[in-house]
Copies of this chain bind each other. A is one copy, B any other.
Amino acid sequence: VKHAEDLRWHKNLTAADLVDQYENVGFQSVNVARAAEAITRMYRADAKIFLTFTSNMVTSGLRGFFAQLIELGIVDGVVTTVGGLEEDIMKASGEKFSIGRFTEDDVELYENGINRVGNLLVQNESYMKFEDKMKPLLTKAYEKKNRWTPSDLFEFIGETLTDKHSILYQAQKQDVPVFCPAITDGSFGFHLYLFQQNHDDFVIDVVKDFKNIVQTTTHEDKKGVIALGGSISKHHALLACLLNGGIDYAVYMTTAKSTSGSMSGATTKEAKSWGKIKDDSDAATVHGDVSITFPLVMSKVLQTLHREGHIE
């Protein structure tokens, strides 16, 4: 039996030490420690690991952290929505997003050509520059073939980037596929549509990419999912694994509640019901803002993997 222990600060307290103490604090802090343990276990078991996240996390500074995790070899597949990939490309082109407040005057922002995503601010100009980039990219892609899956297209784009903090850059370097089942749901979709107007045989083959994600793992592989936020990204990774017999490890981090029956709020309690998770240590749900909890969890995971010689 574990007991609640009095948390103590000391100078030089590392983030990993703090997570160690969380294990004995109570409430969601315990789940932070459990999530770190579950991720460490899935890594050690050589599981295929899907990382899923929502677009707004790429708007935030988590974007470079996701790239770092891919670079470090933690991730075997990414599933996300297209808005985040657009912003990864913008940032790789030098665009900067600024930090504002949730309570900004939205009408004033509008008049200044600024879009608000929570407390992050994106200039319309960044989107316009993105447009200028897209047309030549699609033209070049079309020269190679007329039928692309989303994951192929994002690999192709990753090859054109040079920013080591970029998700698409690192994914391409590390041969990590980036799945995006709703590729038209963003500015990207608009550019694909404009391009197709003049190239009627140009198609995005989402069906083929379903095959690709299913074939990313096998029935024999151990499979893990780290789902940040909800949305189709989380659902898609779980579905792909289920078709190969289910997941062995699951970490969900979310602000959504389970009480409305949504996918975003669904907990790993449900995941356990799929029959493959045998040990409570292999699954954890952390309720809280991912921008706080995920770096904390991974600080502990990465310190452990570093000590064990898995990463530098």
Contact = CB atoms under 8 A, between A and B. Distances in A.
A67 B6 contact: yes
A158 interface: no
Interface string A177-198: 0000111111001101100110
Given A18-B295, A30-B99, A289-B28, A8 B68 contact: yes
A243 B54 CA distance: 22
A61 B4 contact: yes
Interface in A10-38: 11-18, 21-22, 24-30, 32
Interface in A210-242: 210-211, 214, 229-232, 235-236, 239
Interface residues of A, number: 124
B263 A27 contact: no
A161 interface: no
Interface string A193-208: 1001100001111111
Given A119-B30, A192-B207, A193-B214, A259 B289 contact: yes
Enumerate the 10 nearest inter-chain pairs by beta-carbon distance, A residue then B residue, closest first.
A6-B64, A118-B261, A106-B273, A26-B60, A28-B289, A25-B61, A29-B291, A182-B182, A27-B291, A7-B65
